[in-house]
Structure 1
């Protein structure tokens, strides 16, 4: 769906999926990934036996929690090619959570958010640490334990040739988004607004992952990528002066945007994660991890359950 120049596009896509062909962020150098929940934190955290006792029986028996990820949400999630190793802020946080809960957190990478949510509902995965956007329409089948506040902006070619500065500037433009994500819903709504106002509609391009969306902009097939500011900041830095951010500091169709871990509706794991995250915030571990990955502006003072409102 996005390979007009198959060889070059494939190579570039692979580069982006692996954080730009040997250009992993300095935070990830030497980390070696998080495989099967193996801890890589410099100082091991003590197990909280009271929290361990609150885990579902199957997890206490197996000694593991299975966390599903999309694999392409840097600097939170940067998946290895084996489908089980992970680096990034979420990987570091998972290591710390595993230590506090006294279990290993095993990472599994799947193809897109819909697959993650379906797998959690079916019990194939225990949770997604994410962070995943928390919205009312997702809370019917899921519970969110929010640990991030995010902002949604645009990544555009250097110089912003199409003068996209906000959601209102997208009429008639080719906008890439993540399929099934909250930004896709907002941009499709904007397309209808453009038509209602007698303007050219937005040409929405939905991709299964972040690298595919960025590739569309870099190859000239899309005019902008509309997504979360934290990963877009990462991709712009990796693009080495080919891209820039725009639309920062504006709502762009969103109110307060909370993101977090996802569990099946009513899962006892929800309250365990909430308490464990609160512990990591209180002892400073969470703040250190977020600072390490350049995410201090996205931190919350305390985690919360289902904080998200209407998009």
Structure 2
């Protein structure tokens, strides 16, 4: 993230870091998606057999036969735990498809979103796939002031999503834009793209004399609970998650999406900067998954086809 917040099939949950995209919203997503085709970091579409790709895997990954994936399983429909407590959703299914291309078993390591990059840098897993937006701060490892706080990470971009405002059904406060949040309280998951958007909006609202209060939570479920009870007027979430929550919770009677997608950009698979070998293999494996048709099948299953990328891109975010 963008990242996080949303409803699990069995419980309330915040969206993160997209979902049934309407035609109008699809245009914005696809416009951003075109960047995936032209970014200077894009990978060439070449014919790489599964055996060739497996041969290019880092020795440690190949020897283990396992691709460890850090993910915050609390962000349906992108990633969540199903009724059997197994990883489910868009990201786990794409990860599994990539793993099959590489002849690797995929192991999901459930980790809270704000700890995913620290865990990656500590080599607790090989990669992060968790509705995480590819942006400059994450790539450069800087905070909002530009101070270096970590080595940064590389991304293999695989999906396009924007931020939406999720409000109570009927939108009692008439919230339709970020400026409409001024003078109100909002709730969202910490460590997400949405948290950065909210932080910038605090400054904008301050200039109007209508301060914006932001409540940050560890999970999107907690943020949604604030909106449900009226303690917050909105939750900022990735559109897929926001749409999923609005459609599923209380049969669509509790929440609604109050805006089109804001600031659409790519989700990326995060890897450490020194792990270029695995990064490049993953990009080529993802291209194969896309060309095989399996990628489109996964997105269609979760009604997020409008966010499809046409090919993998390395570090294509804004």
TM range (shorter): 0.7 to 0.9
- Note the C-alpha offset of 1:215: 1.6
| Rounded Cα–Cα distance in structure 1 between residues aligned with 2:298 and 2:7 | 23
3-state SS of paired residue (1:132) = coil
Contact 1:19-1:238 at 8 Å conserved across structures: no
- Note the C-alpha offset of 1:179: 0.2
Q: 2:270 aligns with which of 262, 268, 271?
A: 262
Identify the residue that residue 101 of structure 2 maps to in structure 1. 100
- CA RMSD in angstroms, aligned pairs only: 1.8
Contact 2:154-2:315 at 8 Å conserved across structures: yes
Q: 1:305 aligns with which of 303, 306, 314?
A: 314
The TM-score with structure 2 as length reference comes to 0.79
CA spacing shift, 1:17–1:282, aligned 2, 3 Å: closer
Identify the residue that residue 296 of structure 2 maps to in structure 1. 287
3-state SS of paired residue (1:248) = coil
3-state SS of paired residue (1:151) = strand
| Rounded Cα–Cα distance in structure 1 between residues aligned with 2:197 and 2:206 | 15
| Rounded Cα–Cα distance in structure 2 between residues aligned with 1:194 and 1:129 | 33
3-state SS of paired residue (2:311) = coil
- Note the C-alpha offset of 1:56: 1.1
Contact 2:10-2:83 at 8 Å conserved across structures: no
Identify the residue that residue 34 of structure 2 maps to in structure 1. none
| Rounded Cα–Cα distance in structure 2 between residues aligned with 1:248 and 1:277 | 28
Identify the residue that residue 124 of structure 1 maps to in structure 2. 124
Q: 2:258 aligns with which of 223, 246, 270?
A: 246
1:156-305 to structure 2, matched below 5 A, reads: 156-197=167-208, 199-239=209-249, 240=251, 241-249=253-261, 251=262, 254=263, 256-267=264-275, 268-305=277-314
| Rounded Cα–Cα distance in structure 2 between residues aligned with 1:188 and 1:280 | 37
Contact 1:19-1:78 at 8 Å conserved across structures: no
| Rounded Cα–Cα distance in structure 1 between residues aligned with 2:279 and 2:226 | 37
3-state SS of paired residue (1:118) = helix
Moved over 2 A (4+): 15-21, 79-83
- After superposition, what is the alpha-carbon deviation per residue over 1:188-222, rounded to whole angstroms, capped at 9, x for unaligned? 1111111123x211110111122121122112221
| Rounded Cα–Cα distance in structure 1 between residues aligned with 2:61 and 2:97 | 17
CA spacing shift, 1:81–1:212, aligned 2, 3 Å: farther
Contact 2:8-2:76 at 8 Å conserved across structures: no
Contact 1:172-1:201 at 8 Å conserved across structures: yes
- Note the C-alpha offset of 1:17: 4.6
Identify the residue that residue 63 of structure 2 maps to in structure 1. 61
Contact 1:188-1:202 at 8 Å conserved across structures: no
- Note the C-alpha offset of 1:82: 8.2
Give the number of the structure with larger relative contact order, counting CA–CA contacts within 8 Å between residues 6 or more apart: 2
The TM-score with structure 1 as length reference comes to 0.80
Identify the residue that residue 139 of structure 2 maps to in structure 1. 139
- Note the C-alpha offset of 1:19: 3.4
- After superposition, what is the alpha-carbon deviation per residue over 1:15-42, rounded to whole angstroms, capped at 9, x for unaligned? 9555338xxxxxxxxxxxxxxxxxxxxx
1:73-112 to structure 2, matched below 5 A, reads: 73-80=75-82, 85-111=86-112
| Rounded Cα–Cα distance in structure 1 between residues aligned with 2:291 and 2:120 | 28
Contact 2:8-2:77 at 8 Å conserved across structures: no
Contact 2:69-2:129 at 8 Å conserved across structures: yes
- Note the C-alpha offset of 1:81: 8.0
